[in-house]
Amino acid sequence: MNDMAPGSFGIPFQITDPERIPAKRYYDPEFFRMENERLWPRVWQMAARLEEIPNVGDYQTYEILGKSIIIVHTKDGVKAFHNTCRHRGLALVEGAGNCGRQGFVCPFHGWRWNTEGENTFVFAPHIFSPEVLDKAEINLIACRMELWGGMAWINLDDDAPALLDCLGPVAERMDVRNVDKLRADWWYGTVLPTNWKLAMEAFMESYHVMKTHPQLHMLAPSPQYASGIAADPGAAAPTPREAVYGFYAFLERLSDGMAGLVHADEVKVAAKTKDMPLPDDVPGAIGAFFQQFKTDLHADGQARGLAVPDINAVDASHPHKQVEFIFPHFFLLPFFGSMSSYRIRPLTSETCLFEIWSLAFLPDDHVSPKEPTMLPFDSEDFPEVPRQDYNNLPRQQRGLHGFEEMRLSKDWEGLISNYQRLIDGYLNRADPKELASATQLVNDGYDHTIIPLLV
């Protein structure tokens, strides 16, 4: 259908039917170039977790499509600068580290900057015309940055609406879960031969769980257990204790398989809770176990001086969503207290950098990783669940060539459509305030219906 159908700004492959996504959006170089030019320079991007830069002088770099930003812990807080020497343009630093007492020192001719971005040293200044060394010109260029949720977010557009105006209600849903107190237990990265949007979309619906993650589907406590019917239709209905043990087995499998979605410390608490006295009926037993488990997690956290929220209260005031997307390239998977966190950056039109953090409430002396452990995407060292997703993605990328358009479930796969149409809004250079309002609507969990946007 809409092959090369132009939008008002000549967008190729624009979405004209919200239930159908043209396949070329996932590999066409011109479409990728437009995203690079019109989307990425205008959106808020999670650039660093604050525990990666715990001490003054600690820095982290964030790369996006050839641009590099330094996020640095200064004596007055956290700042962000373009990672470019003002003499002849070298990237000042790479990866993460501590800039030490000398500050940032360019490895080419030794110019220096302090953590405030002020130039502190030029070797042999007398050989330059004074105007070339004008202070305002040789200080590092600041990058717009805001803090939220224990993370530093950057935006390359000085005129974009504020971060919280783009995040919307997701920020409050995460705040009540003390997201800013979570710390990274581990951090993995991989390069996937997959367009960044395709990789994001693998997490936007639970429709794939039945086939892609059958081990989770079989063990899921509901609806089979909650209704008192065994997962295996030939098996006898479980007793309340068997049902609770089944749920416990699900938590263990999820903890192993997602390595962090349910943290091992939480499984230890569940191991005790599962032997609590139970009501006589299966749904009642599951409900009582669930309630008590969350109470026990909160108590265990308090006893260990950790900021585990009162999860029962939080679930009542802000109903839990299993995946919380933050447009364009970040999402959190809250479960009980701990969460997994994903960030997916474009590298080329058909490759992306895919990172996963395991976040948990951890003691103050816990040392979080400062850089990801990079693995091949088909590494056996990845937890079971992402490995299953990685298995599909490169295959889907290959399959999209010679394929016209995806067809979406309007009820269950709507987030994919919502995301893609918001991208079209950026490519069409829609009004920034309208884009911010649309982003708030899109940042609304997963398994979503198709909603009107930017009409």
Q: How far is Cα 153 from Cα 297, in angstroms, rounded to an integer?
A: 30
Q: Check binding of 85 to ligand FES (CB under 6 A).
A: yes
Please report which helix (H) or strand (E) contains residue 437, including its range.
helix 432-442
Nearer Cβ to Fe ion, position 389 or 424?
A: 389
Among 33, 88, 395, 407, binds ligand FES (CB under 6 A): 88
Q: Check binding of 104 to ligand FES (CB under 6 A).
A: no
Please report, as a single letter, which amino acid is at residue 380. E
Closest distance to Fe ion from the beta carbon of 208 (Å):
6
Nearest residue to 439 (alpha-carbon basis) of 199, 47, 196, 171: 171
Closest distance to ligand FES from the beta carbon of 132 (Å):
12
Please report which helix (H) or strand (E) contains residue 68, including its range.
strand 67-74
Among 49, 73, 79, 87, binds ligand FES (CB under 6 A): 87
Q: Please, which residues have CB within 8 angstroms of residue 371's CB and are 6 or more apart in sequence?
A: 95, 96, 187
Q: How far is Cα 399 from Cα 429, in angstroms, rounded to an integer?
A: 31
Residue 108's binding partner out of Fe ion, ligand FES, none, with CB under 5 to 8 Å set by partner kind? ligand FES
Closest distance to ligand FES from the beta carbon of 111 (Å):
4
Closest distance to ligand FES from the beta carbon of 138 (Å):
10
Q: Check binding of 90 to ligand FES (CB under 6 A).
A: yes
Nearest residue to 389 (alpha-carbon basis) of 352, 338, 441, 444: 352
Please report, as a single letter, which amino acid is at residue 388. Q
Nearest residue to 373 (alpha-carbon basis) of 385, 358, 362, 388: 358
Chain Cα centroid distance, residue 141: 27
Closest distance to ligand FES from the beta carbon of 89 (Å):
6
Query: What is the 3-state secondary structure of 279-319?
Result: CCCHHHHHHHHHHHHHHHHHHHHHHCCCCCCCHHHHHHHCC
Nearer Cβ to ligand FES, position 111 or 187?
A: 111
Nearer Cβ to ligand FES, position 94 or 434?
A: 94
Nearer Cβ to ligand FES, position 122 or 285?
A: 122
Nearer Cβ to ligand FES, position 109 or 268?
A: 109
Residue 333's binding partner out of ligand FES, Fe ion, none, with CB under 5 to 8 Å set by partner kind? none
Q: How far is Cα 245 from Cα 238, in angstroms, rounded to an integer?
A: 10
Give 169's DSSP letter: T
Q: How far is Cα 191 from Cα 103, in angstroms, rounded to an integer?
A: 32
Please report, as a single letter, which amino acid is at residue 18. P
Name which of residues 132 to 151 contact ligand FES (CB under 6 A).
Answer: none
Residues that contact Fe ion, how many (by CB under 5 A): 1
Nearest residue to 194 (alpha-carbon basis) of 399, 419, 363: 399
Q: Check binding of 109 to ligand FES (CB under 6 A).
A: yes
Which of these ranges, 105-113, 159-167, 415-423, 444-452, lies near ligand FES under the rule CB under 6 A?
Answer: 105-113
Name which of residues 366 to 395 contact Fe ion (CB under 5 A).
Answer: 389
Q: Helix or strand or coil: residue 77?
A: strand
Strands 183-192 and 373-374, by their bridges, are parallel
Residue 389's binding partner out of ligand FES, Fe ion, none, with CB under 5 to 8 Å set by partner kind? Fe ion
Residue 403's binding partner out of ligand FES, Fe ion, none, with CB under 5 to 8 Å set by partner kind? none
Among 111, 289, 327, 342, binds ligand FES (CB under 6 A): 111
Q: How far is Cα 35 from Cα 90, in angstroms, rounded to an integer?
A: 26
Closest distance to Fe ion from the beta carbon of 19 (Å):
22
Q: Please, which residues have CB within 8 angstroms of residue 153's CB and are 6 or more apart in sequence?
A: 44, 45, 46, 47, 145, 146, 147, 163
Nearer Cβ to Fe ion, position 144 or 217?
A: 217
Residue 109's binding partner out of Fe ion, ligand FES, none, with CB under 5 to 8 Å set by partner kind? ligand FES
Nearer Cβ to ligand FES, position 113 or 203?
A: 113
Q: What counts of helices (H) and strands (E) characterise the chain?
A: 14, 18
Residues that contact ligand FES, how many (by CB under 6 A): 8
Among 106, 160, 326, 400, binds ligand FES (CB under 6 A): 106
Binding site for ligand FES (CB under 6 A): 85, 87-88, 90, 106, 108-109, 111
Binding site for Fe ion (CB under 5 A): 389
